[in-house]
Amino acid sequence: MKSTLALIRTTAGTSPVATALGLAVLAGLFLFPSFVKSPYTLHIMILFFLSTIQGEAWNIIGGYTGQYSIGHVAYFGAGAYTTMILMQYKQIPPWYGMLAGIGVALVVSLIIGSICFRLQGPYFVLASIAVAEIMRLSAINLKDITNGAEGILITEIPVFKIGNTVVTDFLSKVPFYYVGLVITLVTILVTWMVQNSKLGYYFQAIREDQDAAHSLGISLPLYKNIALALSAVFTSLSGSFYAIYIGYIDPSTVLNLDISVQIVLVCIIGGIGTIWGPVIGAMVLVPLSEALRSDLIAGMIFKTGLTSEGSAIGTFLKENLAHAHALIYGILVVVVILFMPDGVLGWVKKLTVQKGRG
């Protein structure tokens, strides 16, 4: 027990052990589809990548800079819609659509930022929700562009070729797995680079004390805008990727406030303002939400024999548990805030330090 804790502690720094472990995990992730063929497992991994990308992206503006956006679905939706509209109606391949999506998300973020970051106070939080809702309503009503509430269904993803060689035809989940993995790794790398640069110092200074930061030569609107723009870029990428992967979007899925909340939860649960926090948060939340969706939890309760499937309580659980994710997330957040104010990551760190001393 003691040695595993010691191992966790040393991996927190950058020891040779940590490097070796990191490389092993990386190799494992790249080889994963060669060993695991189950489409459902690959699907869960892809959802985990999506969630990690979103968490890392939100972390830049929310975790490092301390500006809580509760409307990040706006950038997710911008990426998803731009990519899908271009692909379905203009026959523009999704890899260009992703770039266009980033462009749209950047414009949205700069509009929000340039208005809200001139003022201090809760304006940004409120505006972030408002803008997300405006985008959802626009997507419903601008039927000519977005196909309204019916949404957009992709009929065919163009084959990805380099020169004349076909790289992939996107018929299985494996290519999506690799695209997700690569975007995730890039997002983590960029976060790491931000943390270890002047930007990271300035973002955190703003989070810790705006007035102090301002007095030390930091332009608040400039650096908040940079943080939001960076965050929007990666959130938009996750939206584009989601849209192409699922193949169907509509306003109630890709512009739903629920997604904004989930993105924030990934960070809060894992540990805000840290590189690995969102990874951990996604590892907790993705399986949990899958379990909720697939009646797994009700099934488990029946197995324990606490109540049977036929009883009144059983029927109630079966019908409602799948829709109770908001409630369960709420409980989870309360538990995390009460017992792990720095998220799972902070909690584990504290535990290892205490055990190390004891």
Partner 1 sequence: MATILEIKHVSKFFGGLAANSDVSFSLEEGMIMGMIGPNGAGKTTLFNCITGYYPPSRGEVIFKAQKISGLEPDRICRLGMVRTWQKVRPLAKLSVIDNVMVGALCRTNSLKTARELAMEQLKVVRMENKPDFPAGGLPIGEQKKLEVARALATQPQLLLLDEVMGGLNPAESDEIIQLILEIKKGGGITQMVIEHDMKAIMRISDRIVVINSGEKLAEGTPQEIVNNPEVVRAYLGDFHA
Residue type present at position 78: A
Task: Tell me if 301 contacts partner 1 by CB under 8 A.
Answer: no
Size, binding site for partner 1 by CB under 8 A: 19
Specify whether the CB–CB gap between 62 and 267 falls below 8 A: yes
Q: Which is nearer to partner 1, 220 or 332 (CB)?
A: 220
Distance between CA atoms of residues 17 and 27, nearest Å? 15
As measured in angstroms, the least distance from the Cβ of 117 to partner 1 is 13
Of residues 88, 219, 289, 315, which one binds partner 1 by CB under 8 A? 219
As measured in angstroms, the least distance from the Cβ of 183 to partner 1 is 27
Distance between CA atoms of residues 142 and 255, nearest Å? 14
Task: Tell me if 112 contacts partner 1 by CB under 8 A.
Answer: no
Q: Would you give the binding string for partner 1 spanning residues 152-191, x where CB under 8 A is met?
A: ----------------------------------------
Of residues 15, 197, 294, 354, which one binds partner 1 by CB under 8 A? 197
Query: How far out from the chain centre does Cα 68 lie?
Result: 15
Task: Tell me if 91 contacts partner 1 by CB under 8 A.
Answer: no
Both tokens of residue 62?
A: 């929310």
Stretch that binds partner 1, among 205-213, 249-257, 276-284, 322-330 (CB under 8 A): 205-213
What are the DSSP calls for 313-346, one per residue?
A: HHHHHHHHGGGTHHHHHHHHHHHHHHH-TTHHHH
Distance between CA atoms of residues 264 and 59, nearest Å? 8
Q: Which is nearer to partner 1, 121 or 163 (CB)?
A: 121
Task: Tell me if 209 contacts partner 1 by CB under 8 A.
Answer: yes
Q: Which is nearer to partner 1, 209 or 319 (CB)?
A: 209
- Cα–Cα–Cα angle for 8, 11, 15, nearest 5°? 145
Strands 248-249 and 152-153: antiparallel
Of residues 16, 121, 217, 358, which one binds partner 1 by CB under 8 A? 217
Task: Tell me if 337 contacts partner 1 by CB under 8 A.
Answer: no
Helix (H, G, I), strand (E, B) or coil at 249: strand
Specify whether the CB–CB gap between 280 and 270 falls below 8 A: yes
Q: Which residues pair with residue 248 across a beta bridge? A: 153
Task: Tell me if 218 contacts partner 1 by CB under 8 A.
Answer: yes
Both tokens of residue 157?
A: 């993803």
Task: Tell me if 213 contacts partner 1 by CB under 8 A.
Answer: yes
As measured in angstroms, the least distance from the Cβ of 119 to partner 1 is 13
Q: What residues line the site for partner 1 (CB under 8 A)?
A: 196-198, 201-202, 204-205, 208-209, 211-220
